[in-house]
Structure 1
Amino acid sequence: MRSYLDFEKPVADLEGKVQELKALSQSGDAVAIGDDISKLEAKAAQALIDLYAKLTPWQKAQVARHPDRPHAVHYVGQLIEDWTPLAGDRNFGEDAAIVAGLGTFRGRPVAVLGQEKGHDTQTRIKHNFGMAKPEGYRKAIRIIELADRFGLPLLSFVDTAGAYPGIGAEERGQAEAIARSTQACLRAGVPVVSVVIGEGGSGGAIAIATANRVFMLEHAIYSVISPEGAASILWKDSAKAQDAAMGMRITAQDLSKFGIIDGIIAEPVGGAHRDPEAVVTAVGNAIEKALDEFKSKSPDEIRKARHAKFLAIGRDLKA
């Protein structure tokens, strides 16, 4: 069964009627309803196109968090061959919120990081809803430094509401771990390509997304705080998250205008969850093109280009 978001109710009603008619046509009834099905399918498809052509920032946030949206493990599973997962930070323990490992991407040996939210209750608990603890970011540092040592391009798939804010995480140095992971990205002499596949939340996201090229899926979001968190601070009411989202400029389209990201990867009408294979292929194509840009560049050139990219952010903006 397909999951629908609240604002998708008109489409859900139409597609529900299509399914009812299809079930009726298979029940052996002699009523010719083929034309009715075709008309309803066309109407539902157009309704979906119209709806997704004018999504608000808050609606995009809902799409970015859709439970059926492909997660990091889906991209790794379809884009990375000879996958060898790596675990642990060699200090405290393993953090399943960040998946990491080595593999081959379209013939290139690569290192990979990804924030994994999980797709059902069991996996969401296992991966802590994609909210990494210090050991997760220290594991990321291990992988970044390993990639740098062996000259492996680094790919990262960003999808987190933010770093885990628990007491234990703070006691083990959450802020320092995030800062050092960001620093490791900046120091790497290999190409780093990041894709925000769902939700990019604050330092928890940028810790693995301080990259030469940062892409976002069309309906992904990326911000310094969640809309709910911003609403709680500004109005002491998380229910005003929709108002916060409107003013925070969290969409891929806004961030592309500001020069925060380097490109937007189109999604199928209705979101990535409606055609995961097509989205994974599009992401793979964007990554391949980005890596090709750095084929002939030296480690020092790659590093300097990354520094220049982030130092340039905000310089040309007008109030």
Structure 2
Amino acid sequence: MPGSGSIEPGLLVRVVRKEMIAEGVVKLVLSDISGAELPAWTPGAHIDLLLEDGTCRQYSLCGDQNDLATYEIAVLRENESRGGSAYIHDVLEEGDSALVKGPRNNFALVGSQKYLFIAGGIGITPIMPMLEALGTSTEWRLLYGGRSRSSMAFRDELVTRYGDRVNIRPQDEFGMLDLDSELNGADSGTAVYCCGPEPLLEAVEHRCESCSNASLHVERFSPKVQDHAETTAFEVELARSGKTLLVPADRSIVDVLGDVGIDVDVSCEEGICGTCETAVLDGIPDHRDSVLTEEEKAENDAMMLCVSRSCSPQLRLDL
């Protein structure tokens, strides 16, 4: 549901376990610092993790959704980290605390008779709970790629638990994933879920454009590269207060709202987490996020305020 402009309170958690589970991948187990149950979540959900160094990053929940005593996330050390993964790997220790917001889900598991999961590297994390939820009574298969076997988190666990439903294909042994054979062989009505690095997502999206058999669902860790028209100024009318504000070409809606004391909950500020989703009552948004599907964007009833702008001279927002 689109946000209403209120700031979501954070939840203080403690790191109760930290362990390396693959080359360059550390798993954190988090619990409420007071011992209370954590908010419920569904497969595909992520949390915002706010660290003491001031960084805020989104991480998919990869543990047991029925265990509300803990959350589990897996974090890849990024070579070009902006601070989040390096801090978690090098500084954060068992017993340390952090602030969590969410969970929220932009990658929810839809009902289907058949599923094809495609994971690249750390993109396996949101898929793990999906497989657990589906179990073995539903028809599904997983294509899982990575740089090498040693870098692929949960590899042995997946093979032991699900057997030949899981196709492990490290790049140093098999080369690039054979997406053509996987997608061309998908039966009609197959739900395809893909998460991983941007080149993989783009490749799967490209192939699914000509594949009428499958419905594609993706989740991104970084913004999708997009071509947009020239950035121009526009107005936003705030339906609840009646205020009208000018958004200059060089500023975001979130920034302008902050100038007049209206705080909107934001996290990634890149259009990938969905935190700042807000209902649009009138006008045509210029969608620049990587969360909404093309069908959702066409409805023009919600937008991400951190990156999106306006195609019409004015937008009327539910704020």
**TM-score of the pair, normalised by structure 2:** 0.31
**TM-score of the pair, normalised by structure 1:** 0.31
Q: Which has the higher helix share?
A: 1
